[in-house]
Structure 1
Amino acid sequence: MNDHLLQLSPEPLWRHFRTLCNTPRPSGHEQRLVETLTAWADERGLAHERDAAGNLKIRKPASPGCEELPGVILQGHLDMVAQANADHPHDFTRDALDTYVEDGWLHARETTLGADNGMGVAAALAILEDDTLRHGPLEALFTLEEEASMRGALELDEGWLQGRYLLNLDSEDRGQVYIGCAGGADVVVGARLPTRDLGEDEIVRRVALTGLVGGHSGIDIHKGRGNANRLLVRVLRALEPFGACLVAYHGGTLRNALPREAFASIALPADEEDAVTQRLAELEAELASELAGVDEDVQLTLESAETDAPLTEAASRLLIAALHVAPCGVERMSVEVPGVVETSNNLGVVKLEAGRFHLCALVRSLRDSATRDLADRFRALFSLIGAETRVENAYPGWTPDPESTLLARFRRLHLEQTGVDPDVKVIHAGLECGILGGKYPHLEMISFGPLIRGAHSPAERVELDSVGEFWQVLRAVIEDLATARAA
């Protein structure tokens, strides 16, 4: 499948990306891909090993005469975000992606593409098989579960990597190089809330909020896009005067993706259904007006739903109120790095089933202290409704080093290869560099990649021309680091 990718240039990179598209690899299900890559390494006579966490490292010896030069680590993550449109059946643990080219961009039909971080992984594999390159010792580090928890990087063995320079290939902007990133933490809230019997005069209906664009909860958090959980909770607040009471709720699927859809089952007096329908139409128009130019297709619908026990009136009101005031979106912009979000939160996953409430939010910040503080605000808020809050998978930010010699070399080479001096950036997203730098403080690191848009959503796409440019610059950097000046 995806044979058309073999006609694209640079051929080695696209050939490996085809393998990634044909091999299911959602977070936590990377084993099949690891087996494919280790078999490929064996065929090429490349040494490989895995650490205790399951991360994969493939090594290639230096070119003759370059054995004593500092080593280069090519780093990316094997997993991808698994998002499909609601009406599109796709099993990310079994099905290959269905890709197509349109107007100079590669897309996947109705699903995420996995260019994040499949482009970086494919580029590293293509470098390993390129015998025309002159290079020092090479290590390709492929981590696990980056999109779900950063577990691969967090549990990476110390003392396992030998290189001095690390090229993280997990950025998504053409003509830019990243030298710093936000840290983050998952905030998980759980509670058992009281329910009651459904009244004789009550019916159960499902309110659906759909049609949002979604996107990456770090890169896109400042763009004003709707968060389905935030918006549906607002709708539920507006329906409370009609006697609406929560029965069930399902919103979002990943804590690091802006939720595009959310669904709430509510109990309401049967004689209020027409009034609720009218109010939903008013709210849809209100939201469409507010989101004009950003989320043009937001929709609110009222549908039939399975009958089940609603929360008590007090529990429903408390839960909706807590969700309504929970931090969501940009909390603070950076003063030190103008134009960059400093601290944010994404209400990624919210569920309520049979009185069992679950929330998973992702807090990000360039300041680790701000990450801790925002997580603590969740703990304080949800303690008021008797919920328990825990913080998981915390990872540090990556402190920028604008004086890095690796950065200086990259800027020179990028200008030589493309005619453009790259913008030096700090990203409000969780690159693994912060974690890796904590374990290997001697590393000099930069992050760069091709132009990817719509990551973490079915709108994900990668610009074909930028892939060729990315490949050209990557090869130039590796060959430059193999010169005497790298000693």
Structure 2
Amino acid sequence: MDAERAFYYFNEISKIPRVSFEEKKIADYLVEQGERMGLEVIRDKENNVILKKPANRIDSPVVVLQAHTDMVWQSENPEKTLEKIPYNIHIKNGKMCADGTTLGADDGIGVALMLALLESNQKNYPALEAIFTANEEETMGGALAIRKENVTGKYMINLDSEKEGVFTIGSAGGISSLCKLPVQSKNSTKYKTVTIMVTGCIGGHSGLEINRKHENAIKILVRLLRTLSKDSFELKSIEGGSRSNAIPEWATAVVNTDSVEILEKQITDFMKTCENEWCNEEKKLSISIKQMEYSCVVYEDGFKERLLFILENLPHGVYSRTEDFVCSSVNLAIVREIEKHITIELSLRSSYESWYRDEVKKIDRLIEYFGGESEEKDEYPAWMYKKDSGLTKIFLDTYDELYGEEAECENVHAGLECGIIMRNCPSVKDAISIGPTILNAHTVFETLDIESVNKVYALLDKVLQKINVMKN
């Protein structure tokens, strides 16, 4: 059995704009398809849609299928952003892609696979509850809104993984800390203003790539400022980072000084001293200085010292790990000045709620000690992997039967909707995440491997038939 209908549905939903927070049209389409198939349809105010298909026998198990409907939109051409749909989808060398925009295979292909399975005439499937969640890419607000009374399934198959033959069986939980410090200013005593820029860091996902030697541009900038004598500069502003779930690729500080030449020499000396630390990995990392229009207001000396002390002592990086995966980490993600307050955002992840809760309280205490305040936000639960998972065993055995090789299992240090849905819906006792191979997701170079979609569909078809003969 192939995935022809999955490709049909992917083509159809690719005509529908579905960026995060704008999922109404794709929810309308899913409701329409559910009604056409004669399925039970549930839709909530978050634009989550659940389609339910009964089994042919009363005592059949209930399996939850789950994917998210929103996509990350990127375009290299402003003219292609009007409708926010993939532009000129085509296949080349067995790979599906779009021209200059994101393809939306994350997670449009998961949605399409679910619709194809719901439409299938296969008589030996268990009862299916297909959950299509909204707004996964930004806040996971859709998954957070799923109600337990609408879900009865025991097994859940999430279709949001991006490497065929690799099964995800657990993921980290996490929380963000948003810290604020009221700015204290004074008139400058120096006469030249410059911007110091750290750019070109690799960055990357703050969960999946936090274990790699990717430098944090904010930390490098603060480290550089600390090498300068206190009296040689006054700090006007500091900022860095773009997203809470990304390792900062850049950071800048505006400073006042009496000698640009001395600062340039000190920056050069700093680069020579430290370049061996990152030269092998961070090949494009650079630090530059640019003279600016003079600014007469800077941070008060004591505030400058407190701010730099906080930034250099806030945690960043891996805190604990097993032989196979990262357990706990912190990403110092964003620094900004907003409405006369320095705001600092950190993203904490862990397989253990107890760890990130204790760690976020330590951050709270540090900020409060220096006269600031902090807020905890965007918490999501961990999905604890089960070493004795019956569902994982079925997938591993079936994969070996179909393809004559062993699939891999991984526990990812990133947030997935499985943990949220399992917390909210206690009927779900076992879960796994699979998917076809998607490369360069969230970028204009996103590609979907065609053959991997066929393999995933065949695997799902065979696994569902096996589950159907199990006792409920």
The answer for the alignment partner of 1:383 in structure 2 is 368
Of 450-459 and 473-482, the range deviating more from structure 2: 450-459
**Structure 1 residue 266 corresponds to structure 2 residue 254:** yes
- Contiguous gaps of at least 5 residues in structure 1: 1-8
Structure 1 position 331 matched with structure 2 position 322: no
CA offsets 1:349-399 (integer angstroms, 9 cap, x no match) = 221245322222211111111111111121122223222112123222222
1:177 Cα deviation after fit: 1.9
1:125 and 2:112 aligned: no
What is the CA distance between 1:100 and its match in structure 2? 7.2
Secondary structure, in 3 states, of the residue corresponding to 2:149?
Answer: coil
SS in 1 for 2:298: coil
Q: Residue 139 of structure 2 aligns to a residue in which SS?
A: coil
Alignment of 1:191-210 (within 5 A): 191-199=181-189, 201-203=191-193, 205-210=194-199
Structure-2 change in CA distance of 1:187 and 1:457 (3 Å):
farther
Letter in 2 for 1:233: V
- In the alignment, the residues of structure 2 paired with residue 411 and residue 33 of structure 1 have an alpha-carbon distance, to the nearest angstrom, of 33
- Give the greater-gyration-radius structure (CA): 2
1:35 and 2:28 aligned: yes
1:343 maps to what in 2? Answer: 328
Corresponding position: 1:449 with 2:432: no
Cα offsets for 1:381-434 (capped at 9, x unmatched): 222322211212322222222223222211111111222222233222212222
List runs of 5+ in structure 2 lacking aligned partners. none
Aligned to 1:212: 201
Whole-Å separation in 1 of the counterparts to 2:248 and 2:114 = 31
The TM-score with structure 2 as length reference comes to: 0.86
* Aligned residue type for 1:445: A
Give distance in 2, aligned partners of 1:186 and 1:161. 29
Letter in 1 for 2:237: A
| Correspondence list, 1:307-456, <5 A | 309-334=297-322, 338-353=323-338, 355-443=340-428, 444-453=430-439
Which position in structure 2 is the counterpart of 1:4? none
Q: Which amino acid aligns with 2:27?
A: V
In the alignment, what sits opposite 1:167? 157
SS at match of 2:151: coil
Q: d(CA) in 1 for partners of 2:408 and 2:362?
A: 35
1:286-297 alignment to 2 at 5 Å?
289-297=276-284
Letter in 1 for 2:375: R
1:234 aligns with 2:223: yes
Aligned to 1:183, which of 173, 189, 192?
Answer: 173
For 1:78, which of 60, 69, 78 is the aligned residue? 69
**C-alpha separation in 2, matches of 1:295 and 1:131:** 53
Which residue is equivalent to 1:277? 264
**Deviation for aligned residue 1:69:** 1.2
Q: Report the CA distance between 1:44 and its aligned residue.
A: 4.5
**Aligned equivalent of 1:49:** 42
SS at match of 1:485: coil
For 1:176 and 1:390, the matched residues in 2 are separated by 37
The answer to whether the 8 Å contact 2:197/2:289 transfers is yes
Distance apart, 1:141 and its partner CA: 0.9
Equivalence for 2:285 = 298
Superposed CA deviations along residues 189-241 of structure 1, whole A, max 9, x for unmatched, are 122211233456132x3333332333222121112222333333333434565
Match of 1:69 among 60, 79, 82: 60
Range with greater deviation from structure 2 (49-58 or 402-411): 49-58
Alpha-carbon contact 1:288-1:297 (below 8 Å) kept: no
Cα drift, residue 115 of structure 1? 4.0
Cα distance, 1:287–1:77 mapped onto 2, change above 3 Å: farther
Cα distance, 1:340 vs structure 2: 0.9
Q: SS state of the match for residue 112, structure 2?
A: helix
Q: Is the 8 A contact 1:52 1:156 kept in 2?
A: no
Residue 475 of structure 1: which of 455, 458, 461 is its match? 461
CA change 1:172–1:151 in 2 (3 A) is same
Distance 1:206 1:22, change over 3 A: farther
- State the aligned residue count: 468
CA-CA distance at 1:331 after TM superposition? 0.8
Report the alpha carbon displacement of residue 58 of structure 1 after superposing the two structures with TM.
2.2
Say which SS state the counterpart of residue 310 (structure 1) adopts.
Answer: strand
- Partner of 1:449, secondary structure, is coil
Same amino acid, percent of matched pairs:
29
Q: Provide the TM-score with structure 1 as the length reference.
A: 0.84
